[in-house]
Each structure stands twice: as structure tokens, then as C-alpha cells.
Structure 1
Amino acid sequence: MTNGRRTRGRPRDPEADDAIMRAALELFVERGLEGANIEQIAKRAGVAKVTVYRRWSSKEELLIQAIERARTLVPENDIWATTDTVAPPVDERLVDSWAHTLGDGRFRAILAQLIGSSVTQPSLLAAYREQYIQPRRRLIHAALERTRVGDRPATDADLDTVIDMVVGAAMYRMLIDPDASADPAATRQYLEAVLQQADRLLRLPDVPHQQEEGPAPA
């Protein structure tokens, strides 16, 4: 006996995979997690339910893979695992991918549903965070750690806070001020400005705590 799935028969059809993931995301945006059930996903994708279940064990597994594919254009994990720089110059492929994602109205709707579902059905966001967000965050943190050589970033810099600031700025831009993301050139300029500010924070020397002022020396 084996724990792996059987692999006999015809190989997976990538076109069917794409159709299923596309249908899953469309239904997720339109109806939320509850409405994106396997039966409706299969119907919209034009496949049998068994075709979906052969590929994914649950709709949550299907959705988090589809969301990750929609989020990025490049294999970011591979880039972060080898990069020695964080804020400018960041790998151009990363900046291009981020700019595209920020300006993607479809992904903005996906992200809004993902965050919204965390209130009533937190399992989806929890699974996505565990499988994709946390591993990517660890790679980014490790990339920042590698730049500590030569006191860059500052040896006491709170790297997690810096990561939160950059991610938070991007999400604010996407969800709260979506019109500002419509112009790809302006979006890229915004991202570069955010990264420059993060780089500035990382380069700041240690700031001693200011002591209370006493009487001036005679």
C-alpha cells in the first residue's frame, strides 16, 4: 500500500487545470467561499466533479492554489532564496510582478474575499497563510538577515516590522485606494518609493533614547 495517489492513466490536462482554477476564482469572487462549491466549480469549468476531486481534495485546497497562481507572475520563492538585496535595487522581476498584482482588479476582488472570509470561515485564510504567506515571509526575512553584514540593515532593525510596513502599504494601495493602482507606471513608482523608505529605515543607525533635559552646565 502507498500514501501517494495513483498516477496510472492519461496525464493531467493543463487546460482542464486552468479552467477549474479560473472557475473557482470566479465563483469565489461572485459568491464567496460558501458559493464556490465543487459542484458549481465543475459545472462552470465544463468538467465532471470527479475530475476536480482527482486534482484537489477540497475546495479550500483548490482555492489557495488558484489564489497563489493569480497573485504572482514569477517564482518569487526562488528569487528570495538567492537574493542579496532587499530594497532598491530589488530584482526587476519582483517589482514588475508586484506592480501587475497591485493594478489587477480581479486579484483585488479575490484578496477582498479572502480577507472577508476570515471572519466567518477562517480556515481558508489560515491555510493560505500556512502554505504560502509564512514560507515566503521566512525567505524574505532570511534575505534581510543576509544583508546585516556591514551593519546593513542596522543590527537592531525589527525586520518583521519592516516587512509588515511594506506589505501593509501595498495592501492599502490595492484595497483602500484602488484608483491609484490603475496606472502601471504610477504603481511602479509608488512601489519603488515604498521600498526606498524601507531601505532608509534599515540603514538608520541606532538611535539612543533621549534623556530628560537637566539644568545647563555652569
Structure 2
Amino acid sequence: MPTSGPAVGRPRDPALDRRIALAAVELFGRAGWAGFSVEAVARQAGAGKASIYLRWPTKERLLSDALETQVVDLTDADTGTLRGDLVHLARQLLDLYLGECRQAVLRMSVEASEIPGVANRWATLQESQVLAARAMVRRAMRRGEVSDDTSVTLLLDALCGGVVMHVVATPPHLRHRLLTDAPRYAESLVDFLLRSVDAGS
């Protein structure tokens, strides 16, 4: 039962929590799991190790929570058309792979299965993203926008793969254009894919 006495210890500082989480994500993106440690995160965040261990008992928990709070989940937006839904999805993916967490997201897609305590939570996040994307195509089938035998997997693989390749294959001296060009690229990619679907039906 709760007591009426004063609370023990200082309240959590949301600004410090965010600084530590950002430092954890940035460090993982730059150094991978092999270079990830509480000491290194503390140095980068300008925080004490004790402050981190009070919040996160292990480095696995620190990274997992940091990714969960800093990596924006994909949402299922029902715009009323498959084109609108897929453009929305492509924009979200571009924001994810061009944002502050881009290097960590790319590394996590390769290293997640090797990190104890992180793999399951990352898999759960990915599953929610896949379900949201598949729901968009299933709605389009019910509306008659695409044939019922359209391969949902191939369509979404082409969309997501197209976004990732566009980001990672762009030469460094041109990457500053990616954010500016993101809306146009999202629409162009979706239009190309939908024309391919129509041609095959």
C-alpha cells in the first residue's frame, strides 16, 4: 500500500532521458553492437554511468528502449486509395531512413538477431510495420483497385526495397538532395509500381 511519506530520490529528468537515448542510438549506428557500451553512451550524452544504470540495468535494455522511443513506427493511414496509402508509406520509410536514426535502423536490420534482449522487440516492431503495410493492399483489393491475385509480398518488397536502395545507393555528395526530393520520389516510385501491377493484371 502507498505510504504518506515523501518520495525518495530525485524525479526522472525527461531531457536527460532523451539525451541518453539519442546518444545510444547514434553510437549504435556508428559503432554497431561490438562498439556499444554504457561507458561510451555516458561519454557521448555527457551523463554519469550511475545515472544510466539507474534507468537501464543492462546495455541491452538501454539500446532496446532507446530504439523503441526514437525510431518512429510506421502507421496505417487510410487515404481512400491505394496510391495515397502507398505514397504515405513510402514517405514514412524515407523519413525513417533519412532521419536521425537512419544508421541505427540499417545496422539493426543486420545485427538485431545477434543482440540478446533486443531481437524479440525489434522483430515485434517490424511485424507491426508489415501488418500496417499489408492492410493497405488488402483494402485496395476489397475496393477493386487491384486484382485479388496481386502478390502483396512482392508489391511491398518492391516498395520498401526501392526506398532503401534509393537511400543507400545515392552518392554521398548528392545525399543532401534526398530530403528535398523525398515527396517527388515517393510518388514516382508508387506510380511506377502501380503501372507494373496494372500491366500484369
Give the structure-2-normalised TM-score: 0.74
Aligned to 2:186: 191
Shift of the 91–62 alpha-carbon distance from structure 1 to 2, 3 Å rule, reads farther
Gaps of 5+ in 2: 1-6
One-letter amino acid of the counterpart of residue 42, structure 2:
A
SS of residue paired to 1:189:
helix
**Residues in 2 aligned to 1:154 and 1:8: alpha-carbon distance in whole angstroms:** 62
Instruction: Provide Cα deviations, 1:64-114, integer angstroms capped at 9, x if missing partner.
Output: 443455544xx633xx0x51546432488766544444444x544334433
Aligned to 2:144: 151
Question: Given that residues 87 and 195 in structure 1 are in contact (C-alpha distance below 8 angstroms), is that contact kept between their aligned partners in structure 2?
Answer: no
1:113 corresponds to 2:107: yes
Give the CA deviation at 1:169: 0.7
Measured in 2, the distance between the counterparts of 1:146 and 1:43 equals 48
8 Å CA contact 2:82, 2:140 repeated in 1: no
Please name the residue that 2:161 is paired with. 168
The letter for the 1-side match of 2:187 is E
Q: CA RMSD in A?
A: 3.4
Is contact 2:159-2:189 (8 Å) kept? yes
Aligned pairs for 1:51-200 within 5 A: 51-67=51-67, 69-72=69-72, 76-77=74-75, 80=76, 82-85=77-80, 87-90=82-85, 97-104=92-99, 107-117=101-111, 121=114, 126-127=119-120, 129-179=122-172, 180-183=174-177, 184-200=179-195
Task: Identify if the C-alpha distance between structure 1 residues 150 and 203 changes in structure 2 by more than 3 Å, giving closer, same or farther.
Answer: farther
**Alignment check: 8 A CA contact 1:103 1:181 kept:** no
1:169 to 1:68, Cα distance in 2 relative to 1, 3 A: farther
Letter paired with 2:188: A
Q: Distance in 1 between matches of 2:139 and 2:88?
A: 20
Unmatched segments (≥5 aa) in structure 1: 1-6, 207-218
Instruction: Say if 1:123 and 1:145 are closer, same or farther in 2 by CA, change over 3 A.
Output: farther
Q: Which has the larger radius of gyration?
A: 1
Distance 2:195 2:58 in 1: 44
CA contact (8 A) 2:91 2:186 kept: no
SS in 1 for 2:141: coil
The Cα shift of 1:202 comes to: 4.4
Letter in 2 for 1:110: A
Of structures 1 and 2, the one scoring higher in RCO (CA 8 A, sep 6+) is 2
Superposition deviation, residue 165 in structure 1: 0.8
Q: C-alpha separation between the residues in 2 aligned to 1:92 and 1:102?
A: 15
Distance in 2 between the 1:193 and 1:58 partners? 44
Q: Which amino acid aligns with 1:186?
A: D
Distance 1:204 1:84 in 2: 24
SS at match of 1:155: coil
Match of 2:32, SS state, is helix
